Structure 1
């Protein structure tokens, strides 16, 4: 029988609902329970696939090809449970489904309304695709008081009544600010946030208080009194030095114990926190540093490359080095300032992306990495830029490019339907951007005696993709003759998945996104190898 835990947030956004949900998920899973974590987003986009990273941050991709909120990345990294399409929904998806049904006459002439039709659809999502899970943790995006999240809050209120109060638990995460001017912690924002939640019929069972410093017992009593929550269910979460401390912190605060107590359950085994303590110790006490440059368009927004940052950190943990990320805007890179910008860099990484802006800076940077023998990792768009750079500067195809960026070029990168036998453009088709990409997990076969096969220690891999354009396989013979090896191919041998330079100490490009499968307790081999190469050759 599934028990449902609903996590809401108040006062301000970005308090860490996703991290809190993921940490609780790990603690429950490590005690022998089967856990599922889901995210409900209040924005009107159908999914984040067409949203700018400046607006939304990273788009996380699941095995089954869903473009989802980045919090699902937290869920996967902490619990090692693969998310599905059925674990993320938006207001846009809900309204889209309802309107389609209405247009087909599915409501038999009834007036379609927020209550009951929208709330019913949300409740369907909460229960969908649940089999033998013990706990289903549902994070509600947004902040209590926002008009966008009201249908979700009403839906979970109804769900608790219908499903049974003893099968539903409400956790509310709030900010308890510290006022330096008066040297005191203020509980009033939390009181008002809980009051707002109660005004729509939801009484939180546990209040998690985010704070810069420990909350005195008197202030906890005040929160308990005014929020109508037992004092042992007032859980503090103090800002941690690394997110990997979060499961330890919540365990010390007995969050998992209070959840099990509420549901009248006993732990099936003692939770294992040794791996998290080991990781935390490595992260906080490692002194040796590796400088990794990330060259991209969205470097000013940290969340734009969240999984990538985490995967690099995982590689650092594996190699016992601290990763110093040097974020460089690609559109500010010129051939005459690259040496200065990349001074003391240990390794260079170019991540995925879309659009023309900053591409010439990326290509110039790849040329520098190739010629100076600096370890290089190109992911998705980064791999495609590496192919273009090699075509221009080694194969001497001066107008080599991607049809995504310019139709008047020699296409080494393009849509599948744009290739002909001689490599020239046939004609692309204009389509809606949403849902046109190669998404989700795909298989690749690795070439014998290649660097990538040694890294994976396998001849067959499965990785997650999110891209629309492919490398022109018609040019494979020309590339390989000049030293750029297509070391990973799709099973039908038509789509290049991995490239590498055999004359370089470490130069690899991959069409997929390996960062989505990296875990702190199980670092991805590609990132571990990349950091090892950077550490061996360029660590200071």
Structure 2
């Protein structure tokens, strides 16, 4: 029978449920199990596509073009789980589906209620993935915190799944906070109350992951075990890691997390093969050189706004046997009188990531020019490509007013313009160019050498493109168009010709990068930055 694991959080949000769920998934995969990862988000948005990065962090894109929560990025980096639109469940999707069914008369005149109709819809989506032939264990992360009014229907659905499938086929993993107060005293009371709230809902946690600053001692674990009715060996320390998050699976394995889960679910598996994860952890620990990468963006205030890019740069560093120091720079600072020399002097590489809107654009252009003129390796992603084209148009081609029609709709030289299929689009949710597609790479270019192939399969998320009206002028001025869509109609990559390493792409290579297999562009970019 299929197995289900539900990961919930208590006390406060942002404790690391996504990393915990992904780490558990990776551990089960090392035992030869086939894992399915699902994220449930209680917000009413249909997806994360229209949310501000300042509020919600990055938007992660799947192969089929779903705009999802950043935790799916963690799943993609830590596990081999297939990820699609179906693996991201939101309250907006659930209610939209139930209301549509009610309008179609599928409830036969019944009064539509949260229980059973909403909870049945939630369960049906989980079962549809979890009962698939190629899945052994399904891990479902419930977003938010126990006690949130938005999470109540999901926790009720979890309770029902546990009741329907039985305790031998389901497992509740609860991540909670064990804080330190003034004087360094560790307090367990918040954890006790969090588990109490879970039990009031009808769910007794089987495994408790205690988020804390330092590793918990046995005395505190025994105390927590006693007051929460959870086995002592199932109370684990989720303490801060001073190396890399990719050591977390190793740390959980050392504490016996996988053994506990396997035993409680009655799984028949082989021994854990943690070679790859141990190798990643050791690579970070043994690195004796650090490369400094400046990321010049517009959502710098929130750490998770560029989560996948941050991790992909780390992957590139791991692949080259070095550590990386990512220096986050708000592009507006260049517009407010701070010179590039003050912020960029001494950096080894410059990266300009994606984004929307006019704010900070000229600052990014200044950073791109600094990279080009000072021969510093440059990687542009999505908006970063458009910035590279705008900078080159202004400062090499001589079109001083070159811009994107996104920022100056009536501009004199729109070297970047709206995709043709976007012209008549009026709704913003899920309408961009989204998902996995092929790019054709020009022979002998840096990007072709990085991929070691004449094509690249990467995911997209954008509305604007290089204006083909200016393509020949740019090429005549020395800009290399190194990637196209298969039919040659759209520019996918550009490069500086007389430069150590200056490459930009319209797609998002960060979404397919993994710690055990760095994205080719990030590996090559970091390599160039080391030099």
On the 8 A contact 2:94/2:118 being kept in 1, the answer is yes
Give the number of equivalent residue pairs: 526
- Distance in 1 of aligned mates of 2:51 and 2:321: 36
Out of 319-328 and 434-443, give the one that drifted further: 319-328
Which residue of structure 2 lines up, in the alignment, with residue 385 of structure 1? 387
Partner of 1:424: none
Secondary structure, aligned partner of 2:158: helix
Output the CA distance in 1 between the equivalents of 2:50 and 2:101: 24
Instruction: Measure how far apart 1:219 and its partner are.
Output: 2.3
Q: Superposition pairs for residues 96-115 of structure 1, below 5 Å?
A: 96-115=96-115
Note the C-alpha offset of 1:430.
5.2
Contact residue 66 and residue 430 of structure 2 kept, 8 A: no
Give the match for residue 401 of structure 1.
403
Instruction: Give the aligned partner of residue 52 of structure 2.
Output: 52
TM-score (norm 2): 0.96
Alignment check: 8 A CA contact 1:185 1:215 kept: no
The offset of 1:468, in angstroms, is 1.1
Q: Which residue of 2 aligns with 1:19?
A: 19
Q: Give the Cα–Cα distance (whole angstroms) in 2 for the partners of residues 214 and 336 of structure 1.
A: 43
Structure 2 residue 332 is matched with structure 1 residue 337 = no
Residues 95-116 of structure 1, C-alpha deviations (whole Å, 9 max, x = no match)? 1222222233332332221111
Name the structure 2 match of 1:307: 308
- Per the alignment, do residues 113 and 300 of structure 1 end up closer, same or farther by CA in structure 2, a change over 3 Å counting? same
List alignment gaps of at least 5 residues for structure 1: 419-426
User: Are 1:417 and 2:412 matched, yes or no?
Assistant: no
State the 1:180 CA deviation: 4.3
* Match 1:524 to one of 519, 522, 525: 519
Q: In 1, Cα distance between the equivalents of 2:332 and 2:181? A: 40
- CA shift, 1:4, in A, is 0.3
What does 1:222-233 align with in structure 2 at a 5 Å threshold?
A: 222-233=223-234
- Measure the CA separation in 2 of the matches of 1:216 and 1:357: 49
Q: CA RMSD in A?
A: 1.6
Give runs of aligned pairs for residues 191-206 of structure 1, distance below 5 A.
191-206=192-207
Query: Which of 424, 428, 440 in structure 2 is aligned with 1:429?
Result: 424
Residues 112-145 of structure 1: CA deviation (Å, up to 9, x unaligned): 2111111111101111234121100000001111
Aligned 1:160-199 pairs, distance under 5 A? 160-181=162-183, 183-199=184-200
CA contact (8 A) 1:62 1:82 kept: no
Q: Helix, strand or coil for the counterpart of 1:93?
A: helix
1:365 deviation in Å? 1.4
1-structure distance, mates of 2:254, 2:338: 53
TM-score w.r.t. the length of structure 1 is 0.94
Matches within 5 A, 1:52-201: 52-130=52-130, 131-132=132-133, 133-181=135-183, 183-201=184-202
Matched, 1:446 2:437: no
Partner of 2:265: 263
Q: Which runs of 5+ in 2 are unaligned?
A: none
SS at match of 1:128: helix
User: Given the superposition, is the C-alpha separation of residues 79 and 430 from structure 1 closer, same or farther in structure 2, using an over 3 Å criterion?
Assistant: closer
Deviations 1:228-266 (A, max 9, x none): 111121122221112111111110111111111012223
Q: Is the CA contact 1:8–1:139 (under 8 Å) kept in the aligned structure 2?
A: yes
Relative distance call for 1:362 and 1:231 in structure 2 (3 A) is same
Query: In the alignment, is the contact (CA less than 8 A) between 2:433 and 2:462 conserved in 1?
Result: yes
Q: Secondary structure at the match of 1:170?
A: strand
- What's the secondary structure of 1:498's corresponding residue? strand
Cα distance 1:115–1:336, how it changes in 2: closer, same or farther (>3 A)? closer
Report the secondary structure of 1:165's partner residue.
Answer: coil
User: SS of the residue aligned with 1:463?
Assistant: strand
